[in-house]
Amino acid sequence: MPKGFYAVPHPRNETVLSYGPGSKERAALKKAIEAARSMVLDIPMYIGGEEVRSGNTKDLRPPHDHKHILGHFHAGDKSHVEQAINAAMAAKGLWANLSWEHRASIFLKAADLLAGPYRYKINAATMLGQSKNAYQAEIDSACELIDFLRFNVYFMSEIYRDQPESSPGVWNRIEYRPLEGFVFHYVFANRLPDILENFCTAGKVNAAKITIFKNYFSGIRTTHIDQVDDTVRESGFLQYLHDYLCGVNL
């Protein structure tokens, strides 16, 4: 296994593009919007890295254009929440034992992809799914998520670097270890718990269902993070009452 004291790239806020008339980003965004409106997506849940379809589908429509259907997502129930928790716990050891720099590289790569080839897809999906204009989508979707990924990797390295002082003949040190269970994300936002060795499940309630379209259309897939599109109230309570629930990220 490689050894070294690795320096994480110092993060800087992602540059906000203008999308002004005649700009390259404006043309690319229009093309992405046309592509999104030209298809009707069948969006599964992702549990343990596998596509899961419940057959209980819900329509995804733009808030500003109710007649148009962007796609359908498969709603989860109590059994899918249980599957997601079990899948997260089964894979927990592999993720926790992965060296921190390799965990960090995954999230930094995701940030680079969002800043590059997937930028216009996620912004187009945000505009269609949440009725935002180009500038709002650029700030709230692409730039914010890119910054979350890059800054949280840097914050993780600072946490690991924070060590106690030692006295003569004594070496004091702190070893950071993961939680014993899983963290429940109500919606995808801050990714720091995932980077810090903790496995997560994600529940999407009906009010936030359009975010499912944004994630799917823009190419965001879950691996160790299990995504369950949960519209059943009792399924959410299952996670809160679970023995291995270690945190809730709202």
**Residue spans per domain, the chain:** 24-162+180-249
> Using one digit for the tens of pLDDT, what is the confidence trace for 23-46?
999 999 999 999 999 999 898 888
Residue written as token pair 């109710």: 66
Would you say 58 and 212 are in contact if contact means Cβ atoms under 8 Å apart? no
Residue partners of 20: CB distance under 8 A and separation at least 6 = 26
Of the candidates 179, 175, 135, 137, the residue with the CA atom closest to the CA atom of residue 159: 175
- Which among 78, 82, 94 has a CA at the least distance from the CA of 47? 82
The CATH number that domain 24-162+180-249 falls under is 3.40.605.10
Token readout for 57 is 């589908």
pLDDT value, residue 210: 45
From CA 195, how far away is CA 107, in angstroms rounded?
8
Q: What is the pTM of this model?
A: 0.82
According to the model, what pLDDT value does residue 226 have? 47
Question: Looking at the DSSP assignment, which residues form a beta bridge with residue 230?
Answer: 76
Quote the tokens at residue 207: 């009010």
pLDDT at 202: 55
Q: Are strands 199-203 and 182-185 parallel, antiparallel or unpaired?
A: parallel
pLDDT profile of the chain (250 residues), mean per 10: 82 96 96 94 85 88 92 83 84 85 90 93 91 94 92 91 94 88 65 55 46 50 47 53 74
pLDDT digits (tens, 9 = 90+) for 55-90: 988 888 898 999 999 998 888 877 888 888 888 888
- pLDDT at position 227: 54
Alpha-carbon gap, residue 96 to 91, rounded angstroms = 9
The vertex-120 CA angle with 192 and 144, nearest 5°, equals 30
Neighbours of 227 (CB within 10 A): 26
Angle, vertex CA 124, rays to CA 73 and CA 65, nearest 5: 65
Beta-carbon contacts of residue 16 (< 8 Å; ≥ 6 apart)? 135, 138, 139, 143
